[in-house]
Amino acid sequence: MSAPRRDSLAFTVVVTVLVVLCAALMLLVIALSGGPRTLLVATVLAALPVGPVVACYLWLDRYEPEPKRLLAAGLLWGAFVATAAAIVVQGVGGLAVGVTEAASLAIVAPITEEASKGLFLLLLLWWRRAELDGLLDGLVYAGMVGVGFAFTENILYLAAAYDGTDGMGPGGTEALTTTFVVRCLFSPFAHPFFTTFIGIGVGVAVASRSGAVRVLAPLTGYAFAVAAHGLWNGSTVYGFGSFAVVYVVLMAPALVGVACLAVWARRSERRMLTVALSDAAQRGLVPATDIGWVTDLQARRRARAHARALGGPGAERAMRDYQQAAVELGFLHHRFLRGTPPPDFAARGQEYVARIGAVRPSIAFPGQVVPTR
């Protein structure tokens, strides 16, 4: 393995320090938001939609799974750093400017919350650009940050609803149930959806050869994220024909549109990998006969099952490592063909080719002769 880059270390240090500090602050805020029983119930209810929503993003990320530590960092950033930053900025801004509660919800909150969530994506873009291969990676990381943010925010909202401190009524089980249905059942994708626009902008920036696009794409994504967030929050304050109308007429179709974009992006990755690995095979970097076993998800599963049946867990691990190295090489080679290779392109390429060469003699795909050792 190649040595970690200095900018990668900087990313790890900055994110870790901020997560630890902001986690302490947010845990204090949560602890002051209600009694132990209330917080336990609120935390359990807020956690219910997390698993299904995260599973959707992991399903999108099957071709080239992102590092688990970075996905976890995105969740923790959303849960602690983004929420803490939004609370502090909104609190200080409210005291300094004196905005109304309605204006804070519809204008200030979208601006500050999307900025605090989007900062994680910018840090990836600055320091871990090599981990971003395009649109789908931006969507996945944005989703992780949004899920983390929604989880912590839902705890606070659910606890306030039960205690009756949200200004919506006396509280109790009925208020808690209503808040749970609205936030956790009807709109669990809300925060991931808003931040998705920033993810799209970052994905476009990574894939572009234009310096202007690399700057403008994330900014445009942020503007759309703020607009969508503001429209959503504003519908609960100013009406806009009622919250239900905005949900059904605007937000639900927009969410479906983004979901279709994500599925299209995932499907396009297979075509992209096929083209990139075919070119890599012509250059002698990977066997051309293996491409189908790498680019087709069903074929990948068959190959791993075949390896496990012949050689047990060790053979399956070897097959999985080979497929992952080939996929990583395909994405890297695609960026090379587009003219947007990362700075460490040569070192990473040599690493993947070395992994492929080391493992390939010991594996066999279905229908191939099992190599002898």
What is the pLDDT tens value at each position of the chain, 373 positions in all? 444 455 678 899 999 999 999 999 999 999 988 888 899 999 999 999 999 999 999 988 887 788 899 999 999 999 999 999 998 888 776 666 666 777 788 888 999 999 999 999 999 998 888 888 888 999 999 999 999 999 999 999 999 999 887 667 777 888 899 899 988 988 888 899 999 999 999 999 988 888 899 999 999 999 999 999 998 888 776 655 566 777 777 778 888 888 888 888 888 888 999 999 999 999 999 999 999 999 988 999 999 999 999 889 999 999 999 999 999 999 999 989 988 888 788 888 999 999 999 999 888 888 765 555 4
Sign of CA dihedral 355, 356, 360, 366: positive
Does residue 249 sit in the same domain as residue 197? no
Tally Cβ neighbours within 10 Å of residue 107. 18
pLDDT digits (tens, 9 = 90+) for 220-256: 999 999 999 998 888 776 655 566 777 777 778 888 8
Residue 293 pLDDT: 92
In a domain, 51, yes or no: yes
> pTM for the complete prediction?
0.87
In a domain, 1, yes or no: no
CA angle 235, 236, 239 (to 5 degrees): 55
> Is the separation of the CB atoms in 73 and 64 below 8 Å?
no
> Is the separation of the CB atoms in 107 and 99 below 8 Å?
yes
Residue 172 pLDDT: 85
Question: Can you tell me the distance from the alpha carbon of 105 to that of 98, in angstroms, rounded to the nearest whole number?
Answer: 13
DSSP helix/strand/coil, 311: helix
Residue 150 pLDDT: 96
Does residue 75 sit in the same domain as residue 95? yes
Q: Total structural domains in the chain?
A: 2
Residue 131 pLDDT: 84
In 98-210, which residue ranges form alpha helices assigned H by DSSP? Answer: 101-103, 109-127, 135-163, 173-180, 190-207
Residue 1 pLDDT: 42
DSSP E strand stretches across the chain: none
Does residue 216 sit in the same domain as residue 288? no
Q: Which domain holds residue 296?
A: 240-373
**Residue finishing a domain among 176, 204, 238:** 238
The amino acid that residue 364 corresponds to is A
In a domain, 357, yes or no: yes
List Cβ neighbours of 343 (8 Å cut-off, separation of 6 or more).
130
> Is the separation of the CB atoms in 136 and 262 below 8 Å?
yes
CA angle 44, 50, 53 (to 5 degrees): 155
Taking each helix axis as running N to C, give the angle between helix 36-47 and helix 135-163, from 0 to 180 degrees, rounded to the nearest 10.
150
- Structure-block tokens of residue 237: 């304050």
**Residue finishing a domain among 238, 254, 286:** 238
Does residue 217 sit in the same domain as residue 86? yes
